[in-house]
Amino acid sequence: MLNIFCVARDTVGEMKNKYIKYLSIPVTAAILLTACSNSSETSESSDSSSEITLYSERSKDLIQPVIDQYEQETGNKVDVRYGDSGELAMLINEEGDKTPADVFLSKTPGSIGVLEQNGHLTTLEEPTLALTPKKVQDVEGLWVGISGRQRVLVYNSELVETNDLPETIYDLTKPEWKGKVGIAPNNGSFRDFVTAMRSSVGEETTAEWLKSLAENEPLTYPKNGVIVDAVGIGEVEVGLVNHYYNFRELVENPEHKGLNYQFPAEDPGSFLMVSAAGKLKASDNQDEADELIEWLLGETAQRYFADETFEYPLAEGIDPAENVPAAIFSDVSDIDYQALGDGLAETEKMILDAGLRE
Amino acid sequence: MSGSSLAQYRRYNQTQMKHRIQLTLRTYGVLIACFFSLPFFYLIYRTFDAWQTQSNQLDNFSQNITNPTINTIALAISVSVFAAVLGTYLAWVTIRTNIRLKKTFTTLFIIPLAIPTYVGALGYIGSLNPQGGLIARSTSLLGVDTPTRIRGFWPALLFLVLFTYPYVFMIVRAKLKRMNPELEESGQLLGHSKFQIFTKITLPQLKASIISGALIVFLYCLSEYGAVQLLGYDTLTRVIYTNFLSNTFVSSTSSIFLAVIASLVIIYERRYGVRTTNNSDHKITESVNTNLGRFAILIYLSLLTTIIMTLVIPISSFIYWAFRGYSQANIDWIEISGLTVRTLLTGTIAGLVTMLIIVPAAQFTLHSKKFSAKTARLSILMGYATPGVVIALAIVFWNLRTPGFGWLYQTYPMLIIAYVLHFGSLGLGSAETALKAVPDSLKESARLLNSSNLQRWIKVHIPIMRPGIFSGVGLVLLATIKELPATLKLAPTGFSTLATDIFSASGEGFDAKTGVLSLILIAVSAVLTWFLVLRNQEK
């Protein structure tokens, strides 16, 4: 036995002489990187201010500026981990109570719904909850809406007359819209919209609508942004997307031909997707977490969401950006993912059964 | 009397040494097999756990899974075949003919590996846009109407072939450089046509490398998600991804299913793929460089077409986006340079660490016929067929539940480990080619001259293996800098790479930033590839 170790040691010893030349630089770099990455781009944390971790399913381009401002104003430090819709919720699920996250910021209701369902969240404080209308926060106070993204119908202004626009979402299954509607059935926001529809109008109506829609030959796309581009060039006349894509497209491309159309408030088509924040039960920094969430509902952050990303600020008393029409939507507080029984799984199944998958 | 017993003693000692080394290698091999099987064990655990808590999800399971499975297998097989053909053709052209600018072409043929597939797909879709897309504008000049939607099997096939052929290209190329041209010369002397020489002499020798490369392509197609999703082709990975949160049972069984398919192919390849025992390759001579003659123009055209389709088209979209929206995008160049350096360094470290771990393992898997060797090889290759998100979650699972390792969670070393797990297989093919490159004749003479196995290894084997090893480092590096799901979950908080930032920008519709970052990614990969290819040039 000992001999084997001797051989191994000799082997490694000999090898080192040759490999040192190749390895020394990257190894030193790795050590430096490990040291650097812990402090990353922001300054070293001091003991006097707090340091919390935010898991954000909203992207870095959107959130980092807001966080930077928070750090400047309050002196608190926030480490942010970014991920795609659902991925960080998956991560927290896997991490369980060992999660380093203190606050979770969701992009779609699905993620925060799952976290709620699996018991990862804890109730928010009253002062925090008082900052938004009741209809955009969780019934039990486990999450609060920070900004809203509304489902709309984007249409090509040259191909579609305003009088021809559908009055309700059910019109899209009529013959005149055959082959003219773009949807993204694999996309998170579509799934959230269907889940909400199930809650507001019931399972049967939703299943029927999905089937009729599928029979009406919709054009399927992978993402909302791609639909908006397609509508802009006239490849498809209308599409079911989120409201802000069109505004952002217009900023980058003023020639864009797409316009948004809002369904009436009671219509399922006008679903407001709330980007919500929640506090993790496993967090050791409950007070600091509250502080961050409250700041996100403050004037600075809310104005940022309104003006930079064209989303709907959900705190009371804050208006959306100038060219964005007021959101018209119904209550989202009681869309209970738990009561819907494995909300997303059932929605998935429904979409599949309707034949909307390619 | 004393002379012969001394010789006996020396032989006995050498045999003992050999056995010890073999035992060490075997132990190492078993450890490697366990390490690379961690994601699989994780999936088994999750499946059982979900089965107990969510057993009501079983209905419709077979209905949900049949179509995606068939789609996945059909695509993977087709892509492997076409990629093998293209990769071999290009490798032969750049090594065995007398075309000009070989280094440039070689570099350009490898760069597609650096483009994240979903970004490449976005670039392609963008180029069909009549307002600025390259394809749309060029075909409208010809008066042809191109469709603006590309979806389905054929676009997915084309796309994946264009972005995975470099795997075959690099592995076959490494082999071609080492191949003994004597046989081909004899063929010429005997009066065979060039075509016959190629098919009867060159190709059989290349068979193992081609299959090795095709296997990598196949495994990659199993785990591919971003591009096929954009192109509207429904695969098993879609089932896995869309069900992860809502229906863990379906998603983990689908992952296991994927792993089973991968295993079957790996085992099949091992049994039927040629195991060349002949190591009569020797030093590189100025090999038979086929004169292209009248085919020259055609061949150059084919090379250019490949480059246009793999690089020019997506890049044109990126350039267009970058210029169109530049003023609105807040591009911080200082931040971007830090980002680039970080990304590159990470990729290089991942590459080196991977090869360090894989080369000894390859020595074991290549020469041993034991069951443990086959399992080790299987588990390493499996890593590439496993979707990145599964590897990431498996590491989270094991990291947090193994006592004493908690402090390593979401640190840089853990991230490197994730890359090793996911991309180890890329190093394996190159490592095996490198090890096979050491010719028996050389081994014999070295054995006569050097008493120590280890000295022999260092002074003789490693320099010969260097091209193969660098090739492996290059493959892992290119794969790492575009990796996304594991990086997002396991990197230290606040650590981002070019890939994560591209993803962030493209998801929000910030086209200009997506364009700029993608161009930087490609440029940086080009430089690195050039560097690696230059280093590979024989003296």
**Contact status of B372 with chain A (Cβ, < 8 Å):** no
CB A277 within 8 A of CB A290: no
Tell me what pLDDT residue A334 has.
Answer: 54
Strands A258-261 and A143-156, sheet pairing: antiparallel
Q: Among A128-132, B14-18, B260-264, which stretch is predicted with the lowest mean pLDDT? A: B14-18
Q: What is the pLDDT of residue A43?
A: 39
A162 closest CA partner among A249, A270, A261? A261
Mean pLDDT on A125-150: 87
Q: Stretch B214-241: mean pLDDT, rounded?
A: 86
Q: How many CB pairs under 8 A join A and B?
A: 189
Instruction: Tell me if chain A has a CB within 8 Å of the CB of B324.
Output: yes
Q: What does the mean pLDDT of chain B come to?
A: 82
Residues 6+ apart with CB under 8 A from B5: none
Q: Which of A37, A42, A186 sits opposite B495 (nearest CB)?
A: A37
Q: Are B210 and A203 in contact (CB under 8 A)?
A: no
Beta-carbon separation of A34 and B412 below 8 A? yes
What's the burial of A251, exposed, middle or buried (CB within 10 Å: 0-12/13-18/19+)? middle
Q: Which of B328, B352, B496 sits opposite A23 (nearest CB)?
A: B352
Query: Integer distance in angstroms from the first to the last C-alpha of chain B?
Result: 48
Q: What is the DSSP string of B495-520?
A: ---HHHHHHHHHHTT-HHHHHHHHHH
Whether A251 and A317 have beta carbons less than 8 Å apart is answered as no
Tell whether A40 lies on the interface with B, counting CB pairs under 8 A. yes
Would you state the structure tokens that stand for residue B120, as one six-digit string? 């490449």
Domain count, chain B: 1
State the nearest Cα–Cα gap between A165 and chain B, in angstroms.
24
Q: Does B52 touch chain A (CB under 8 A)?
A: no
Q: What is the pLDDT of residue A323?
A: 74
Would you state the pLDDT for residue A109?
76
Q: Please list every residue in chain B whose beta carbon sits closer than 8 Å to the beta carbon of residue A37.
A: 412, 491-492, 494-495
Q: What's the rounded Cα separation, in Å, for the pair A122 and A279?
A: 6
Indicate if the pLDDT at residue A11 is higher than 80. no
Q: What is the average per-residue pLDDT within B345-352?
A: 92
- Structural domain of B373: 10-51+70-325+333-535
Helix B412-437, helix B333-367: angle, nearest 10: 50
CB-based contact (8 Å) between A110 and chain B?
yes
* pLDDT one-digit tens code per residue, B5-52: 777 777 777 778 778 888 888 888 899 999 999 999 999 999 888 877
Pairwise CA distance, residues B141 & B139, whole Å: 5
For an interface test with A, give the residue of B38, B317, B332, B396 to mutate (most A CBs within 10 A). Answer: B396
Residue B396 in domain: yes
Q: Which domains does chain A have, with CATH numbers?
A: 51-148+273-321 (3.40.190.10), 149-271+345-353 (3.40.190.10)
Whether A178 has its CB under 8 Å from any CB of chain B: the answer is no
Distance CA B32, CA B127 (A): 44
Question: Is 60 exceeded by the pLDDT of residue B239?
Answer: yes
CATH code, domain carrying B99: 1.10.3720.10
- Please report the residues numbered 228 through 247 in chain A whose beta carbons come closer than 8 angstroms to any beta carbon of chain B: 228-230, 232-233, 235, 245
Segment B150-179 mean pLDDT = 86
**Chain A partners within 8 Å of B60 (Cβ):** 349, 352
What's the first-to-final CA gap in chain A, in angstroms? 60
A143-156/A219-220 β-pairing: unpaired
**Residue B60 located in a structural domain:** no
Nearest CA in chain A to B504: A59
Which residue from A minimizes the CA distance to B463?
A18
Residue B469 in tokens: 């090893």
Confidence band, pLDDT 50/70/90 cuts, at residue A38? very low
Q: CB-hemisphere CA count at 13 Å for B405?
A: 12
**CB-CB under 8 Å, A349 with B494:** no
Does B277 have pLDDT greater than 50?
Answer: no
- Least confident segment among A313-317, B2-6, B235-239: B2-6
Q: Which of B224, B235, B508 to mutate to test the interface with A (most CBs of A within 10 A)?
A: B508
Q: Is the CB of residue B412 less than 8 Å away from at least one CB of chain A?
A: yes
Would you say residue B404 lies in a domain?
Answer: yes
Give the pLDDT score at A221.
Answer: 84
pLDDT at A25 over 70: no
Whether B352 sits inside 8 A of A33 (CB atoms) is no
B518 within a domain of the structure (yes/no): yes
pLDDT for the residue numbered A329: 66
| Higher-pLDDT residue of B63, A235 | A235
Other beta carbons within 10 Å of A65: 14
For residue B390, pLDDT over 50 is answered with yes
Least confident of A309-318, A335-344, B73-82, B512-521: A335-344
Predicted pLDDT of residue A44: 39
Q: What is the pLDDT of residue B434?
A: 78
pLDDT at residue B355 is higher than 70: yes
Is B46 part of any domain? Answer: yes
Higher pLDDT, A202 or B509: A202
CA distances from B332 to A42, A61, A349, B121 (A): 15, 12, 44, 26
Provide the token pair at B199.
Answer: 């098919």
B339 falls within a domain: yes
Q: Please, what is the average pLDDT of chain A?
A: 81
Residue type, position A317, single letter: G
Task: Mark which residues 55-74 of B lie under 8 Å from A by CB.
Answer: 57, 60, 64
